[in-house]
Each structure stands twice: as C-alpha cells, then as structure tokens.
A and B are shown apart, each in its own frame.
Chain A
Amino acid sequence: MTDVIQATKRDSTGTAATIRLRRAGNVPAVLYGHGEANEHLSISADQIRGLLRHHSKTIKLTGDVNETALVSDMQWDALGIEVLHLDLIRVNLKEKVEVTVTIETHGEAPGTREGGIFLENIREVDVRCSAGAIPDSLVLDINELHLDEHATAADLQLPEGVELITDPESVIAHIEAPRAEVAAEEEGVADGAEPEVISKGGGEGEEDEEA
C-alpha cells in the first residue's frame, strides 16, 4: 500500500532546528538516493501516525517534492512513543528492492488443542520484490501444525513476484509442550545464599567472567 504524504522542504538543519520542528508537531525527514541531491523535509506527525497505522513501506510525496520513496529507517524516542526522524530512499515503483515484511499467521494450530503453546521464533522475513508490490504481510498457514512440529520460511505463501531472501530452512513458528513450573523455579537460588566471589588472585573462572 502506498500512502500519499504532504512534505515541505526545510532549510534549517541541526539539533535546535529539529527540536523546534518537533515542538511544532512535525517530524524531520531526509530523502536521498538515485544519485540525486539530499532533500531535508518536514512531515506532519499526524501523517506519520497514519503511515504507522497502515504499515506502508512506500510513500508518494507531494507538496514541495513529487517523488515516490521507500521508508528505510525510522528513529524512535527512548520510550518508543514518538517518531523522531524518517529516512526515505527514492525508488522507482518497478525497481526491485529488499525489504523486511512481517509474518501473519492464519488459522488455528491443532497442536494448541493437544496442549501445546504456539510460539513464533521469527516475526519478520527479508524479501526481494518490486517497490510497487511490497506485500503488507506474508501469510503462514498453521492449520496443519501439531505438537512438537514447526513451520519454516519455505512454508510461507509468497505472492507472485516476491522472492524470499531469508534462509528457507529457518524456523518461523513451532508448537511446544508447556514446561512445568518447577523447571522455572530451579533457575533461582535459595534465599539467603550468597553468590560465589571471584577471587583476586586469578580464580578458576575469572577469565570467563571478564570475557
């Protein structure tokens, strides 16, 4: 899906200028690629929120610049609430790009009815496809997944023109039997016990600790 985003050019760069920009409800962005000059842009935070809601990878910039771009990086604040900066790469919708796409599981695994827990090992895979046909997500059918079985990247349903880069052997999801509560408790140490202190004179495991 391609979102249309209104962008305005900005002349002022640097920390103070971008702080002022964010305070005014905008997000600084940079557009580069295709051997052309970098463009410093400003996009309203509301539009960025929309972009996040739609999980769009490619965007169509309007306003001061009229180009198609791929969102290559997003910088977040420490709490992961606000987007601080956006990196956009110029793309032609027909050119092949390498992107990370999320995996969506469809169906209900019979293994969960057999008493297992459905666990996802990988949530995203790298694919190569044309910029105009980046899938929102890749579907993994788990209707045939029984207890102690796993699904690999090769089991993903790839749309036409999408090529998998991630190793097809990598395990995406598996059904595992729940571990007993006792097993988790064994990781702890009895109350009142003190840990072993690594001696100064070159104790047995000192090198391991420092490594």
Chain B
Amino acid sequence: MALMPKRVKHRKSQRGRIKGNATRGNTVVFGDYGIQSLDAGWVKATTIEAGRIAAQQYVRGEGKLYIRIFPDKSVTSTPLETRMGKGKGEPDFWAAVVKPGTILYELSGVTEQQAKVCFARLASKLPVKVRFVTRRSA
C-alpha cells in the first residue's frame, strides 16, 4: 500500500516549482549504498512503493532498505470530459518532490555488486535519472 500523510493541514496544494539542487537529504546516512536523483520531479507514492517491492524482492531478507523520500504533496486532477472551470480538481495522488541530489533509497547489509543490481532494477521504475552512490567515509 502506497505511503501518504496521516494528517494534513490542507487537502490540496499548489503545484509549485522545483528550483535548485537538494541541500538536505543529499548524502547516504543510514545504509552503505544509495540511489541519488539527478533530475527534479515528482515521484508518485505508487512509484515509491513499486521501487520498494522491486528492491526487497531482490535482496529478499538479506539487506535492509531505507526509503528516504515521503510523498507529502497532494496532486489534484480534473476528471476526463469535464468542461473547464468549476474550481480546482480533487486530489488524485500523492507525490514526493525530488530535487537533483536527493537520495531516494538506501541499502545496507549487502555487497556493492548486489546493491548495484538491486538499484538498477529499482531505477527502471523511477521517473527521474539516478546514479549509484556509496557512503562517504571520514
């Protein structure tokens, strides 16, 4: 089941504009390896879930997967074949706003080769270009 907030202040949000690079959440913190976004975009809650399933099916109890993004933006849409106007549409899906540099997922407890294969499977599901990153040591 896809992620979504438990409580929100407003049901609908404005679309917004994604400017600049990520200055927070841009380093591998919890795991040994990570997958970093190189584009800006919205990642749907269902996509995050699809990625989680793809990765967990591959590691299958061996490693631990961390999801570093959360879909806290509601995106509305107007139903098909509806005339223009009549106000803002109803919430359609939840999405996470991703900037270049954001770490999307992290993995620990697996080898680098396993992590690369796992993230390659996961990357094919994502709407943004990504790159494989490793933890930066002191």
Q: With A80-B27, A197-B7, A197-B8 as known contacts, state yes or no: A117 contacts B63, CB within 8 Å.
A: yes
Interface centre among B27, B38, B56, B137 (most CB of A within 10 A): B137
Cβ-defined contact, B61 with A117, below 8 A? yes
Cβ-defined contact, A196 with B6, below 8 A? yes
Interface segment among B18-26, B79-87, B114-122: the answer is B18-26
Residues on A with beta carbons closer than 8 Å to the beta carbon of B5: 195
Cβ-defined contact, A191 with B138, below 8 A? no
Interface string of B100-119 (1 = CB under 8 A from A): 11000000110000000000
Residues on B with beta carbons closer than 8 Å to the beta carbon of A195: 4-8
Say whether A36 faces chain B, with CB atoms less than 8 Å apart.
Answer: no
Dominant secondary structure at the B interface: loop
Q: With A78-B101, A80-B36 as known contacts, state yes or no: A123 contacts B137, CB within 8 Å.
A: yes
Contact among B7, B21, B63, B133 with A196 in the assembled complex (CB-CB below 8 Å): B7
Q: With A55-B137, A78-B101 as known contacts, state yes or no: A119 contacts B8, CB within 8 Å.
A: no
Contact among B36, B49, B52, B64 with A117 in the assembled complex (CB-CB below 8 Å): B64
Cβ-defined contact, B138 with A101, below 8 A? yes
Give min CB distance, B104 to chain A, whole Å.
Answer: 13
Say whether B89 faces chain A, with CB atoms less than 8 Å apart.
Answer: no
Give min CB distance, A145 to chain B, whole Å.
Answer: 13
Interface centre among B1, B2, B36 (most CB of A within 10 A): B1
How many of chain A's residues touch chain B, expressed as a range? 20 to 34
Contact among A119, A193, A197, A205 with B11 in the assembled complex (CB-CB below 8 Å): A197
Contact among B8, B23, B38, B138 with A102 in the assembled complex (CB-CB below 8 Å): B138
Cβ-defined contact, B101 with A79, below 8 A? yes
Say whether A124 faces chain B, with CB atoms less than 8 Å apart.
Answer: yes
Say whether B10 faces chain A, with CB atoms less than 8 Å apart.
Answer: yes
Q: How many angstroms between the C-alpha atoms of A123 and B27 in the bound complex?
A: 14
Residues on A with beta carbons closer than 8 Å to the beta carbon of B62: 117
Contact among A76, A120, A123, A194 with B91 in the assembled complex (CB-CB below 8 Å): A194
Q: How many angstroms between the C-alpha atoms of A193 and B61 in the bound complex?
A: 30
Q: Which residue of A lies closest to B110 (CB)?
A: A117
Give min CB distance, A179 to chain B, whole Å.
Answer: 9
Q: Which residue of A lies closest to B2 (CB)?
A: A188
Contact among A76, A100, A181, A209 with B138 in the assembled complex (CB-CB below 8 Å): A100
Q: How many angstroms between the C-alpha atoms of A195 and B3 in the bound complex?
A: 11
Interface centre among B7, B20, B36, B56 (most CB of A within 10 A): B7
Say whether A211 faces chain B, with CB atoms less than 8 Å apart.
Answer: no
Interface string of A47-85 (1 = CB under 8 A from B): 000000001000000000000000000001011100000
Cβ-defined contact, A198 with B9, below 8 A? yes
Cβ-defined contact, A198 with B23, below 8 A? no
Q: How many angstroms between the C-alpha atoms of A78 and B135 in the bound complex?
A: 15
Residue numbers of A with Cβ under 8 A of B are 55, 76, 78-80, 99-102, 117-120, 123-124, 178, 181, 184-185, 187-191, 193-198, 205, 209
Q: Ordered nearest first, which 8 A-B pairs have the shortest CB separation?
A: A188-B1, A78-B21, A100-B138, A178-B61, A78-B101, A102-B137, A196-B7, A124-B138
Residue numbers of B with Cβ under 8 A of A are 1-11, 20-23, 26-27, 32, 36, 38, 49, 52, 56, 61-64, 91, 100-101, 108-109, 131, 133, 135-138
